[in-house]
């Protein structure tokens, strides 16, 4: 059983267990011991972070634990999560770690590890690290501790990697782009990338102060991005989240394009280029039935994984697929990177527009999405609300109402104390009726339990 690691590393509110400096120090020591045991040379680990105020505290404590245990630490500062995955491989580090709570508010933070190949650590390694948190390992001799040094060209390296994903010489001269960096890790990368490719860039929410990451901006609040696109007469808008592994898009009219439509565009482009591996894409249980029908009409499969990029990636590798993603805009393009990458996804969308000679709103234009909505029930603390008898009865009733007319998914969030209720139906009135019934009924159960 996992005690600290969730589906996306360790995450929580800063200065509350487990997201404390003391825990980060202990985690550094435990991870350092596990990651150095089977390496003949002095091992190195790369640490990147987003722009949260707490990043300095967590970085210092984690670095202290890792070096105390004998690991050399490479500090790259604020960079996107996918940059850490890439740089871990590029710099031949033995592991990488990113300090971020992704799309969560500034008061949260997280610690997520990558293996030397840029993929997330295997479950068995995370569990081995967890065991050592309760029984700290012995420390090495005084002269066997590690060193820490800063890498100054990390952002430039990552930008060159991103540009290399495009066909040689491809540019987007004159294209008017709005990019929202969510006051997060992409603030020093995103605008520079698009400018180097010839775009006319309007950059918003790119002045982080440690407290404004994801604050009414970015992929979870793309409305300001959409407004700016319309106001500036731009061709397309890109909204990233705090660690830039997610992307939400809008067209020239400000219409939001979510992850399902992005997957449809990327899959259709890859099919026409004969580059779609496995004959299918991997999505999650949240993806719209309309996407499934769109892909089926083109002879393509759609495999559904549990919610979470870890599970999408596992299924992609199992079935040999190279495109996968989530409705939230978290896209994994295995031909290029080992984890979700918002800027990489943006470039591949621009590449599809250029190759197919169409604006983004004309790509996958015949994709008709079913009415779908998400209700979130906040819990005062984590508990197994889904096993409650009344909740199970409400779910059964909802499934009967939707039989043959829609879909239902009720699950605990993997990163927050919330119960997420997704309802999808052919008719919006039915969708709203079922969703409101579940939200109100489960909300009453939660209030009684509090």
Residues noted as catalytic = 102
* Phi/psi of residue 373, nearest 5 degrees: -150, 155
**C-alpha distances out from residue 52 to 13, 19, 62, 343, 381, Å:** 12, 13, 15, 20, 24
Q: How many CB atoms lie within 10 A of CB 205?
A: 26
Helix (H) / strand (E) element for 231: namely helix 223-232
Question: What does DSSP say about strands 72-78 and 148-150: parallel, antiparallel, or unpaired?
Answer: parallel
Write the DSSP string, 105-165. -TTEEEEEEEETTSSBPPHHHHHHHHHHHHSPPPPPPGGG---EEE-TTHHHHHHHHHHTT
Rounded Cα gap, residues 318 and 57, in angstroms: 38
Please say whether the beta carbons of 268 and 251 come within 8 A.
no
Rounded Cα gap, residues 372 and 96, in angstroms: 37
Can you point out the beta strands (E) in 174-314?
A: 176-180, 200-204, 236-240, 247-250, 256-257, 280-284, 301-305
Q: Which residues are bridge partners to 150 per DSSP?
A: 75
Rounded Cα gap, residues 295 and 292, in angstroms: 5
Structure-block tokens of residue 347: 């470039």
């Amino acid at each position: 059983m996992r005690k600290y690691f969730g589906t996306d590393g360790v995450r929580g509110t800063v200065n509350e267990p487990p997201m404390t400096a003391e825990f980060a120090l202990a985690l550094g020591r435990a991870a350092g011991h596990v990651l150095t045991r089977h390496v003949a040379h002095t091992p190195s680990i790369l640490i990147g972070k987003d722009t949260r105020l707490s990043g300095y505290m967590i970085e210092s404590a984690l670095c202290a634990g890792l070096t105390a245990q004998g690991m050399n630490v490479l500090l790259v500062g604020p960079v996107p999560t996918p940059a850490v995955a890439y740089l871990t491989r590029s710099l031949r580090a033995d592991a990488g770690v990113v300090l971020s709570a992704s799309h969560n508010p500034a008061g949260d933070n997280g610690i997520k590890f990558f293996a030397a190949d840029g993929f997330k650590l295997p479950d068995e390694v995370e569990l081995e690290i967890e065991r050592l948190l309760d029984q700290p390992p012995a420390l090495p001799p005084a002269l066997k501790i590690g060193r820490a040094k800063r890498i100054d060209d990390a952002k430039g390296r990552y930008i060159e990697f991103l540009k290399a994903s495009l066909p040689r010489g491809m540019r987007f001269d004159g294209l008017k782009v709005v990019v929202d960096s969510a006051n997060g890790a992409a603030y020093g990368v995103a605008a520079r990338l698009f400018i180097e490719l010839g775009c006319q860039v309007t950059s918003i929410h790119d002045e982080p102060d440690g407290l404004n990451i994801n604050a009414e901006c970015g992929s979870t609040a793309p409305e300001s991005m959409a407004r700016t696109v319309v106001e500036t007469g731009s061709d397309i808008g890109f909204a990233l989240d705090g660690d830039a592994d997610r992307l939400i898009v809008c067209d020239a009219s400000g219409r939001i394009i979510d992850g399902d439509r992005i997957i449809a565009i990327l899959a259709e482009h890859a099919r026409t280029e004969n580059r779609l591996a496995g004959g299918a894409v991997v999505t999650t249980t949240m993806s719209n039935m309309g996407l499934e029908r769109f892909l089926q009409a083109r002879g393509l499969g759609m495999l559904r994984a549990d919610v979470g990029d870890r599970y999408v990636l596992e299924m992609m590798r199992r079935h040999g697929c190279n495109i996968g993603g989530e409705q939230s805009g978290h896209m994994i393009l295995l031909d290029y990177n080992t984890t979700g990458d918002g800027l990489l996804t943006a470039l591949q969308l621009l590449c599809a527009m250029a190759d197919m000679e169409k604006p983004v709103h004309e790509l996958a234009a015949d994709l008709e999405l079913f009415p779908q909505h998400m209700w979130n029930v906040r819990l005062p603390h984590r508990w197994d609300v889904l096993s409650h008898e009344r909740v199970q009865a409400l779910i059964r009733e909802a499934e009967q109402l939707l039989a043959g007319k829609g879909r239902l998914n009720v699950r605990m969030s993997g990163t927050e104390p919330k119960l997420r209720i997704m309802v999808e139906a052919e008719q919006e009135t039915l969708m709203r009726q079922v969703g409101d019934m579940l939200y109100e009924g489960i909300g009453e159960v939660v209030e009684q339990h509090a």
